[in-house]
Chains A and B, each alone.
Chain A
């Protein structure tokens, strides 16, 4: 049967398990005695193995199997966790990730056997503990078995209640006469499982590979339609032994329990003594035994389980529908403006208000579906910092806050690489070497902070390190040496301008190129990417104390509130979230600083930008006495945009301008107004 439809589930779940493994192994490295962590790792490794096996990825299965063995030993107290072991395990995880990468691209795991890793793992295993192993294992298994048995009462054997028709009875009798085994099984699926039907399907598929399912309750169709609770029962005819069948079923992940026994036609004989759960050394049962014993321990699992995976294409269709709806609403608004003084006017307006309420709600709920916690991006960073720490020989730790801050899916997908760049930067350039830190009297271990929080309609992400800070003079000198600027320019530069040099393409201050960073392809890429997402980056630094990168990103990209303005006879939209106030300014109040127009607004000096000049509009015949100025902000800087006319606030749908036309960076897109006219959206960030 075709497994490709489950490939996606497999990929997603493997990623999740890998993440869990990475997280937990990191914890284990810090606290080698933590038995909860070992259990968690073991569970994840085991699920991985089962999944890989079901999907037919033999190499991956073998690797995870050996990894599982190692943790089994650790769990039984026969091995201890050493730094060497942790390194091997990390290598192992990388190899699995490699397999996964291959699978994502080609649906095949590739050819790499990773023999060396497997050998190292086995070497660890042998070095760990031998001699006493077998005996202990047995006894442990026995205990588990006993435990499992007592906890399984008659209620669990639901298959006993399967009513069978005559022809099924015949089939069973016939099978028995041919010396085949007939088993009844009831499979319990984990209550947290999202895709029960898929799990059930995998069970069916596995069993059908070795035998025949003559009856299932509920029926196959109902199971496919997910019309069942968390268990289903079936009757199996097979040549294989009870243990083999049970193993096959239990290997499907998210299966909580399998109750399987020899099956006798009811009314014939008493049920044969229960041989269930005789799983020998196989850890499945043990795992369950542990789970039952300590259900409270599972609360360390990530809440990611509650999320629903939705195809992004479907969401985009939904988004488009919503945008159409808003356009339709805007159409109504413009009609109402034209008609005027009618008796039906009031109800018409009510209609509009109603429509407006719907669209707003729809917008919000759709947006919520698109929102993803930033956790899914940042959770791979602790591991990265650990590896960097080893590689660079610097002691450092990563402190993360606000991982649950939510961002639009499209932003989340893009933000990972820039953030990684910045963290690498901080680790390599930012933090001093351990020796230097000690000399400077700083704590030996460097700290990198990654903070995320929501700030109005933006999400702010900060990357802070307590390292050396940026040496502005060094940056200038390097820029002069590389010919980016002249010496005179360098002398004139303010600190802020000099720091902006770091964002120029191919700029690096590192004297030597390491494989971590220093090739100078970092920060300009970061900046481009973030500006492409409608956000911006700021740097503040204090020499000797550290550097802080602040990334500001919009919460959503598709629909925004905007102020509609007129410049000459053209309409433009200015995003509302960047507007501070709207001021009426007398022309006589305009002052000049360095030949640039500024106004003094309640004690703040704000530069003016004439939008008509920026937008190449025709000259006005005579200058009016009063100017309408929209004050916009970017970070803590403000600028006044001079416009001709205010039209009002409107919800607009952002649309791209098409492929072939060159767009100046002050225009971030376009929108369609109620009357079908196109208005351009001003990106005020580029004008501040």
Chain B
């Protein structure tokens, strides 16, 4: 039984799209998903920060994931969303993505562990879902080393 429990451990991920590629974000980190709203630019901040938004009286910095990955900037569309992620207690950060697709459950065996870098972003691994591949983002590494980025 114990063995089974380990093997069958499932985790839920929110699948987002960036330029046709699919990324998964661990649902336990996600606080909220909001529609695109007015973003106030913050001068002299890191280049991949779009600015700050007002989320019910709280001011939250928003990172443009496209820019963080070194992709080009893209017009916002109706599908653009800001995912509010809570990597630590009392600290939130918004992540701007092209589109939010769905929530998937991946079992441990469907995830291929891989610690490789993509533009300095550490991926947790790659998940197989139906016949597509989902790169699982390591949230901690996205927010780590922001000072040097």
Contacts and interface: CB of A to CB of B under 8 A. Distances in A.
Interface of A: 323-324, 327, 570, 614-617, 655-664, 666-667, 670, 672, 676-680
Interface in B60-118: 60-61, 63, 88, 91-93
A658 B54 contact: no
A266 B55 CA distance: 71
B58 to A, nearest CB: 8
B62 to A, nearest CB: 9
- Give chain A's interface secondary structure class: loop
Interface residues of B, number: 26
12 contacts: A614-B43, A655-B59, A658-B52, A658-B59, A658-B93, A661-B45, A662-B49, A662-B146, A664-B44, A667-B42, A678-B52, A680-B43
A677 B49 contact: no
Contact of A616 (B43, B51, B88, B143): B43
Contacts of B43: 614-617, 664, 667, 680
Given A660-B61, A672-B54, A680 B42 contact: yes
B45 A672 contact: no
A659 B57 contact: no
B14 interface: no
Contacts of A670: 40, 52, 59
A39 B88 CA distance: 54
A655 to B, nearest CB: 5
Nearest to B87: A660
B28 interface: no
A660 B93 contact: yes
Contact of A660 (B57, B58, B91): B91
Contact of A657 (B46, B52, B143): B52
Interface in B101-149: 143, 146-147
B35 interface: no
Contacts of A327: 57
Contacts of B42: 657, 661, 663, 667, 680
Given A657-B52, A670-B40, A678-B52, A662 B57 contact: no
B53 interface: yes
A679 B59 CA distance: 10
A657 B61 contact: yes
B147 to A, nearest CB: 7
Contacts, number: 79
Nearest to B146: A660
A615 B54 CA distance: 20
A324 B53 CA distance: 17
B93 A659 contact: yes
Q: Which of A616, A658, A679 is the most central at the interface, judged by chain B CB atoms within 10 Å of its CB?
A: A658
Nearest to B142: A660
B49 A672 contact: no
Contacts of B54: 672, 676-678
B7 to A, nearest CB: 36
Contacts of A657: 42, 52, 59, 61
Contacts of A656: 59
B11 interface: no
Contacts of A659: 61, 88, 91, 93
Given A660-B91, A662-B147, A678-B59, A570 B44 contact: no
Contacts of A666: 44
A651 to B, nearest CB: 16
Given A658-B91, A658-B93, A659-B91, A570 B52 contact: no
A667 B51 CA distance: 13
A487 to B, nearest CB: 33
Nearest to A675: B38
Contacts of B60: 658
Given A614-B43, A616-B43, A670-B59, A661 B52 contact: yes
Contacts of A664: 43-45
Contacts of A672: 54, 57, 59
Contacts of A614: 43
Contacts of A655: 58-59
Contacts of A658: 52, 59-61, 91-93
A661 B57 contact: no
A663 B40 contact: no
Nearest to B93: A660
A678 B93 contact: no
B15 to A, nearest CB: 23
Nearest to B38: A677
Contacts of A616: 43-44
A663 B45 contact: yes
A4 B42 CA distance: 47
B46 to A, nearest CB: 5
Contact of B61 (A570, A615, A661, A677): A661
Nearest to A678: B40
Given A657-B52, A661-B49, A670-B52, A677 B40 contact: yes
A254 B148 CA distance: 58
Given A662-B45, A664-B43, 11 more contacts: A327-B57, A615-B43, A658-B91, A658-B93, A659-B91, A661-B49, A662-B147, A663-B44, A667-B43, A677-B38, A677-B40
A675 to B, nearest CB: 9
Contacts of A615: 43
A658 B85 CA distance: 12
Contact of A662 (B46, B51, B58): B46
Nearest to B37: A676
A436 B145 CA distance: 53
Nearest to A324: B57
A434 to B, nearest CB: 49
A264 B94 CA distance: 76
B85 to A, nearest CB: 10
Contacts of B147: 662
A236 B54 CA distance: 63
Contacts of A680: 40, 42-43
A660 B143 contact: yes
A232 B51 CA distance: 63
A126 B58 CA distance: 66
* CB-CB nearest 5 A-B residue pairs: A661-B61, A664-B44, A678-B40, A659-B91, A658-B61
A676 B146 CA distance: 28
A661 B52 CA distance: 9
A100 to B, nearest CB: 30
Q: Which of B43, B44, B49 is the most central at the interface, judged by chain A CB atoms within 10 Å of its CB?
A: B43
Contacts of B41: 570
Contacts of A570: 40-41
A679 B146 contact: no
B46 A661 contact: yes
A325 to B, nearest CB: 11
Contacts of A617: 43
A609 to B, nearest CB: 13
A667 B54 CA distance: 17
Contacts of A663: 42, 44-45
A455 to B, nearest CB: 31
A324 B60 CA distance: 17
Nearest to A658: B61
B39 to A, nearest CB: 8
Nearest to A571: B40
